[in-house]
Chains A and B, each alone.
Chain A
Amino acid sequence: MQQNVGHQTKKSMLTFFLKPSPHLPAFIEDEQIFNEAHWNAATKILETNTGEPLWAGLSKRPPTACYTPGKTRPGGYNRNGKYLPAKYIPGKTDKRAGK
């Protein structure tokens, strides 16, 4: 007997082929590194606490994956000294980690 399936339970073919993301530890590690970095208004790049360009340290890594989870950026002062409230940055299939 054929099963009755409502419209809401129907889904796309792709959803039958979801797979666990193996890159979560890398995302968490990246998040910690980014949290410890700061924006340098003069050089217009992110730098580590020791003043090294963050890109130079991270560029030796192989790619992770296409998807970066969302996160909340804490409030703080921007490069012009204006206070910006905390902001939620949505997850994205981004260009920083891994295509």
Chain B
Amino acid sequence: MESTCLQNIYQAKLISGQVNKISVIVISDQEDLHADCIVSGLMNIGVHTIRLSPIDDFSEPFFLSSVKSKLLKIGGSKIDVSNITGVYCRVPLERLSECFSPRNALERHSIEEEASAWLCGLLSISGHFWVNNPRYEIWADNKQFSLMIALKVGLSVPDFIITNSLSHAKRFSENKKVVIKPISDTSLAFQNGKFIDVPDFESFETIGTSLFEVEKISPEALDGTPFFLQAYIERIEEFRVTIIDENIFVAKAILSSNQIDIKDVVGLNYEKSDIASDVKNMLLKLMRQLGLRFCTFDLVIENTGEIFLVDINPSGNWLWLNPLFDGIIATEIVSGLR
């Protein structure tokens, strides 16, 4: 029903000459179901959609020409770059090398470097068309950076430190519960007695948010890598807030256990909810300062009633919440791209 409505609006705009034939580029790998959902939504309303899959599409011919009216051709699709109204990007363009597994130096040069450079060239498409602009997303993904901006816009953030000193960590964790988290999106797994970056389908240990317990540490085995500690908030409620442009979707976790990190709870359910309007306004302000059009946030309320921002995910998942909001999250993303 939503898509029919959008289709009517789009057709009306086409007829009235308000829009030309528009095109949207979706950049994601072929197994990204979030992108699938958006592609379906765009195609249902007749928007010309090009799906570019960096790890799948380099076997197909493509070219970008400045001579022929800035024509971009990928596979069988041709578009005039000036008709692009939106780019939905679900891969980090400037970290594409992580998606490839080159066999030798020549392949690394040919694929990683050159292909990444060509895709980064797409950033010449106007910045506000991107959901999200990958450059801004990389910055926003940095906890230290984005939490400091959050503090500036007035949001409450649990106290945190970044250090490589055990004594500082001990001082910070005196008389209070503290959690340790990765600063970046780094992945690491411990499987079959060794550290690896790619575990297979056997049980493995990994990093996440954990309670910082000094007795677990062997001080003499510590290297100088920095780490992130944050005061643990005894939550009474936890929210997942998804924002696309000015549209805010709030879901509350139905908590049934005392897990430090609710991502460790298998089969967690959510219900529709709401948060104070001043917090919503601060989140919108934060997004504007970070240059994001889409972002998800994790917020917790402690027993004093204060609400804290505990995590910012500029590329956070939303598809699992989409049915809870009757598909409107996807509709708003589609709407923002055309």
Binding site for B on A (CB under 8 A): 2-3, 5, 7, 9-24, 26-28, 31, 34, 39, 43-46, 53-56, 58-63, 65-67, 69-71, 78-80, 82, 84, 87-93, 95-99
**Of B90, B203, B216, B264, which contacts A24 at CB under 8 A?**
B203
5 contacts between A and B (CB under 8 A): A9-B221, A10-B221, A14-B227, A59-B323, A82-B60
Residues facing A in B273-295 (CB within 8 A) are none
Chain B interface, number of residues (Cβ within 8 angstroms): 76
Binding site for A on B (CB under 8 A): 26, 30-34, 36-37, 39-40, 43, 49, 51, 55-56, 59-60, 75-76, 90-91, 98-99, 101, 164, 166, 169, 180, 182, 185-190, 195, 197-208, 210, 212-213, 216-218, 220-223, 225, 227, 263-264, 266-270, 296, 313, 315-317, 319-320, 322-323
- CB within 8 Å for A99 and B296 given contacts A9-B221, A78-B59, A92-B98: yes
- Do residues B206 and A59 form an inter-chain contact, with CB atoms below 8 A? no
- Do residues B220 and A17 form an inter-chain contact, with CB atoms below 8 A? no
- CB within 8 Å for A14 and B180 given contacts A62-B267, A67-B189: yes
Which residues from A are CB-within-8-Å of B205? 18-21
- Do residues A46 and B90 form an inter-chain contact, with CB atoms below 8 A? no
CB distance from B185 to the nearest CB of A (A): 5
**Of B90, B197, B203, which contacts A20 at CB under 8 A?**
B203
**Of A12, A19, A31, A59, which contacts B225 at CB under 8 A?**
A12
